């Protein structure tokens, strides 16, 4: 089987995009694992199946598979990559409406330089589901904030990043309190408008950045009094900027980097 793909990344959170019509039904989860594998596949944090507009309220739609083959509701960075993909193919212009598993998201093009794009994305209204929740862990109970941003986020405030934060992230992702697993972010306050974050994403593990993770981290930091809008989220891949109001708006990059065919 031949699977065409375009590779893209949003702040080093990388994805492979394929037109849905080019992928037969069945075994898509195993295909996602194969194509995302970084040694024997193309390599990515996730695989997106993209379809053109299915109606007047959207410019396209995406179905997102994590690198472990599980299905995710949404990725903020991935949705910006899909917006770049649709613009590149002439199916959208400056205002891009993309149907995701978390509903239709609006993405506005701010700048374009060839295959490099900068977007502002409406992330919706974060829902704080538990402001100060005590989560039992192998290292002892940790106070966390649980946020819904179209997908589940567990935000762990820290003064400094623990040396074992990756192990902790993996344990929290699959904690019995989260039967559908969860995304995890570790948040360190820098100043009133800046937080430093590390991400452990459900189904992908450590990622260099995360759009929904940044949104959840900012929402939790604001709710806990650690930060105020606008919030600069420092990620290992660079800053992501979030403006908080009734709805949260995220500004970040997307870049198309390669295209080809994967042999399955």
Under DSSP, the state recorded for 227 is -
Work out the pLDDT band at 138, boundaries 50, 70, 90.
confident
pTM as predicted: 0.96
What sign does the dihedral 127-128-134-139 (CA atoms) show?
positive
Query: What confidence score (pLDDT) does residue 123 get?
Result: 98
Query: What confidence score (pLDDT) does residue 54 get?
Result: 87
The pLDDT tens digits of the residues spanning 39-94 come to: 999 999 999 999 999 889 999 999 999 999 999 999 999 999 999 999 999 999 99
Residue whose token pair is 């989560």: 135
Separation between Cα atoms, residue 252 and residue 213, nearest integer Å? 13
Mean pLDDT, residues 19-28 taken together: 94
Q: In sequence order, which residues have a C-beta less than 8 Å from that of residue 2 and are 6 or more positions away?
A: 261, 262, 263, 264
Separation between Cα atoms, residue 21 and residue 64, nearest integer Å? 15
Separation between Cα atoms, residue 59 and residue 91, nearest integer Å? 7
Beta strands 248-263; 238-243: pairing state: antiparallel
**What angle is formed at CA 178 by the lines to CA 12 and CA 155, rounded to 5 degrees?**
50
Segment holding 218, helix H or strand E: helix 211-223
Query: What confidence score (pLDDT) does residue 26 get?
Result: 87
Does 139 score more than 90 pLDDT? Answer: no
Nearest to 196, CA basis, from 243, 253, 147, 239: 239
Exposure on the CB side of residue 179, measured as CA atoms within 13 A = 0
Mean pLDDT, residues 99-119 taken together: 98
Separation between Cα atoms, residue 90 and residue 190, nearest integer Å? 41
Separation between Cα atoms, residue 196 and residue 137, nearest integer Å? 23
Mean pLDDT of the chain: 97
């Amino acid at each position: 089987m031949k699977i065409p793909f375009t590779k893209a990344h949003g702040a080093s959170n990388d994805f492979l995009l394929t037109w849905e019509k080019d992928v037969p039904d069945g075994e898509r989860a195993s295909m996602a694992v194969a194509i995302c594998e970084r040694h024997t596949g193309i390599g990515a944090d996730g695989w997106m199946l993209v379809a053109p507009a299915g109606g007047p309220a959207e410019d396209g739609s995406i179905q997102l598979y994590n690198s472990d083959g599980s299905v995710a509701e949404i990725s903020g960075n991935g949705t910006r990559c899909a917006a770049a993909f649709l613009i590149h193919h002439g199916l959208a212009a400056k205002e891009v409406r993309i149907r995701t598993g978390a509903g239709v998201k609006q993405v506005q093009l701010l700048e374009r330089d060839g295959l490099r794009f900068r977007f502002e994305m409406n992330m919706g209204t974060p829902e704080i589901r538990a402001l100060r929740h005590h989560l039992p862990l192998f290292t002892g109970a940790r106070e966390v904030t649980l946020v819904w941003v179209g997908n589940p986020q567990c935000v762990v405030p820290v003064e400094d990043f623990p040396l074992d934060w990756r192990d902790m992230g993996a344990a929290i992702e699959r904690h019995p309190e989260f039967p559908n697993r969860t995304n995890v972010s570790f948040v360190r306050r820098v100043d009133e408008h800046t937080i430093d974050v590390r991400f452990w994403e459900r189904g992908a593990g450590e990622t260099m950045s995360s759009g929904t993770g940044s949104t959840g981290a900012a929402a939790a930091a604001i709710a806990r009094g650690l930060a105020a809008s606008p919030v600069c989220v420092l990620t290992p891949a660079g800053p992501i900027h979030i403006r908080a109001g009734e709805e949260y708006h995220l500004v970040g990059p997307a870049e198309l980097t390669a295209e080809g065919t994967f042999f399955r």
